[in-house]
């Protein structure tokens, strides 16, 4: 039954375990959940699964929340911290014991190891042999009173279990594949799968969208829902992200987390867009999409089953497209500190309004060519300093002896032009090129190298106008002098 039919608003959640920073895979699962909630007028919640105290680190929680926020996702209600819910979990453990759906297991580690070994020898799947399921009430009481240690296992019924996955359709597992697994410790505290079920139920979660590595947990959780006589949510299992070498993405293999990509200059809208398209695509095949367009087009049924590859080259290509259309304020905010860090400008310089306008113009001119924000520092540094060297290859190719006189002649023509704008500069170039009887290119390339130190960049005249008359002429004359010195050095 769909939510439209039941009229029940949907509630989804992302439940990160703070055992590392925000992984791109978790970010993508969060995005799918967030989109689903927005699409169905539902709620998107965040639950921090911080019960595993050995692995979880409190210091990692805030960075995870920050990275989710950076991607534009915040919890629609107070964040739930699983570690604070121990009492609630315990009450459900008691319910399971009271109803007889779970039982205490007193088997020692050694005995369990023997059971496992025997199963392996007989080539059976290792599973608990239910010895303690058959203890009488008196036997159990006696053992508890004697202080024997125990865990609490759920009774898995005979038969098979089927559920309809929103991505993978009907999935069936034989119940015999699942042993009577442990749901709680002797002290009554719940283990992972039970805690998830209790929290999802209490948070009113209607739809669980998570990685397909959780399918086995899903079957276990369905058994817990049944034992507790609760309705299970709908499930959607999304494909896992892989590295280009088809291994799972992993910090240990050097894969970056979301915040690290952000620090490298990937825009949040790029990350959101790219992650969404890993495993999902709109019907019309569009790639570069704004968040609103994705929200419009998103459909959980459109998620496919194959595990997609997270490709940094592709991410950068997406970023290039998003930089072209990003609001200038966002780029100013990202680029300003990087310029300062690179020592190209000072904080006083940045505080000046005219300089902000200049910087915005430079960004607008350069954004067509930037893949990541850091590219700006390399390709636009000359807008902020005179201290740059010449590209070595360009130097050899463009700064040939004849270029010295050409640069001087063109600088003189620019100097005497009535204005320093595109038309005037272009007309001056045409005139000088004709007079020297050479192609425009013989002037254009050395001029670009003289003024920017680089051989590639935006349209030359746009660049010169923005650098300004004074600096352009000085740099052209400086390059002419340099070429003449070079000439005398190489031809004694």
Span between the terminal Cα atoms of the chain, in Å: 90
d(CA 238, CA 207): 13
Closest CA to 381 of 341, 434, 328: 341
CB of 228 to ligand GLU, least distance (A): 17
15 part of the interface to ligand GLU, by CB under 6 A:
yes
Compute how many other C-beta atoms are within 10 angstroms of the C-beta atom of residue 116. 14
* 393 flagged as catalytic: no
Residues 214-233 that bind ligand GLU (CB under 6 A): 214
Q: Which of 11, 32, 44, 49 binds ligand GLU (CB under 6 A)?
A: 49
Q: Which of 38, 89, 210, 220 binds ligand GLU (CB under 6 A)?
A: 210
83 part of the interface to ligand GLU, by CB under 6 A:
no
Closest CA to 29 of 213, 265, 297: 213
DSSP string, 100-164: TSEEEE---HHHHHHHHHHHHHTT-------GGGG--HHHHHHHHHTT---EEEEPPPSSEEEEE
Nearer to ligand GLU, 31 or 480 (CB): 31
Nearer to ligand GLU, 2 or 216 (CB): 216
28 part of the interface to ligand GLU, by CB under 6 A:
no
CB of 19 to ligand GLU, least distance (A): 8
Q: How far is CA 357 from CA 25, 325, 411, in A?
A: 39, 18, 26
Q: How far is CA 85 from CA 18, 47, 189, 479, 490, in A?
A: 16, 11, 10, 71, 79
Nearer to ligand GLU, 49 or 255 (CB): 49
Take residue 219 and report the two structure tokens written for it.
């079957």
Q: Which stretch binds ligand GLU (CB under 6 A): 10-18, 167-175, 322-330, 438-446?
A: 10-18
Q: Which of 17, 83, 330, 455 binds ligand GLU (CB under 6 A)?
A: 17
Nearer to ligand GLU, 104 or 237 (CB): 237
DSSP string, 271-340: HHHHHHTSSB--TT---S--HHHHHHH--GGGB-SSPPB--HHHHHHHHHHHHHHS-HHHHHHHHHHHHH
Q: How many residues does the chain have?
A: 492
Q: Which stretch binds ligand GLU (CB under 6 A): 12-20, 335-343, 351-359, 369-377?
A: 12-20
CB of 132 to ligand GLU, least distance (A): 28
196 part of the interface to ligand GLU, by CB under 6 A:
yes
CB of 196 to ligand GLU, least distance (A): 5
408 part of the interface to ligand GLU, by CB under 6 A:
no
Catalytic choice (248, 251, 305, 324)? 251
- Catalytic sites, residue numbers: 251
Q: Please give the residue ranges that form the binding site for ligand GLU (CB under 6 A).
A: 15-17, 49, 196, 210, 214
């Amino acid at each position: 039954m769909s939510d439209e039919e039941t009229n029940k608003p949907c509630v989804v959640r992302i439940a990160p375990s703070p055992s590392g920073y925000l992984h791109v895979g978790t970010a993508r699962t969060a995005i799918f959940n967030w989109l689903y909630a927005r699409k169905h007028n539902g709620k998107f919640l965040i639950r921090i699964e911080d019960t595993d105290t050995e692995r979880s680190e409190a210091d990692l929680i805030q960075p995870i929340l920050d990275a989710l926020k950076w991607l534009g996702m915040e919890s629609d209600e107070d964040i739930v911290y699983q570690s604070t819910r121990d009492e609630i979990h315990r009450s459900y453990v008691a319910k399971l014991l009271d109803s007889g759906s779970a039982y205490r297991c007193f088997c020692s580690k050694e005995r369990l190891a023997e059971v496992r070994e025997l199963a392996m020898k007989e080539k059976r799947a290792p599973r608990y042999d239910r010895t303690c399921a058959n203890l009488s009430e008196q036997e159990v009481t006696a053992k508890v009173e004697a202080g024997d240690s125990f865990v609490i296992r759920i009774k898995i019924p005979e038969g098979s279990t089927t559920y309809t996955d929103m991505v993978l359709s009907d999935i069936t597992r034989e119940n015999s594949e699942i042993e009577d697994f442990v749901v709680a410790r002797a002290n009554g505290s719940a283990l992972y799968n039970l805690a998830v079920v209790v929290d999802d139920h209490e948070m009113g979660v209607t739809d669980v969208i998570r990685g397909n590595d959780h399918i086995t947990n899903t079957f276990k959780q369905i058994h817990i829902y049944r034992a507790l006589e609760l309705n299970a949510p709908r499930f959607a299992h999304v494909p896992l992200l892989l590295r280009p070498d088809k291994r799972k993405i992993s910090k240990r293999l050097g894969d970056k987390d979301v915040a690290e990509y952000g620090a490298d200059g990937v825009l949040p809208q790029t990350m959101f867009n790219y992650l969404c398209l890993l495993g999902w695509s709109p019907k019309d095949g569009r790639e570069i999409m704004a968040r609103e367009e994705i929200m419009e087009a998103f459909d959980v049924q459109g998620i496919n089953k194959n595990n997609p590859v997270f490709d940094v080259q592709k991410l950068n290509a997406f970023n290039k497209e998003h930089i072209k259309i990003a609001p200038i304020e966002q780029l100013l905010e990202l680029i300003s500190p990087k310029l300062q860090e690179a020592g190209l400008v000072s904080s006083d310089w940045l505080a000046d309004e005219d300089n902000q306008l200049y910087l915005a113009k430079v960004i607008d001119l350069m954004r067509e060519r930037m893949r990541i924000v850091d590219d700006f520092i390399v390709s636009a540094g000359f807008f902020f300093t005179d201290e740059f060297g010449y590209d070595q290859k360009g130097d050899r190719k463009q700064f040939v002896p004849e270029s010295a006189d050409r640069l001087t002649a063109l600088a003189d023509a620019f100097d005497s032009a009535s204005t320093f704008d595109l038309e005037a500069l272009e007309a001056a170039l045409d005139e000088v090129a004709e007079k020297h009887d050479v192609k425009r290119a013989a002037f254009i390339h050395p001029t670009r190298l003289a003024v920017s130190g680089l051989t590639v960049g935006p349209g030359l005249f746009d660049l010169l106008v923005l650098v300004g008359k004074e600096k352009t002429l000085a740099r052209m004359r400086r390059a002419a002098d340099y070429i003449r010195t070079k000439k005398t050095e190489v031809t004694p």
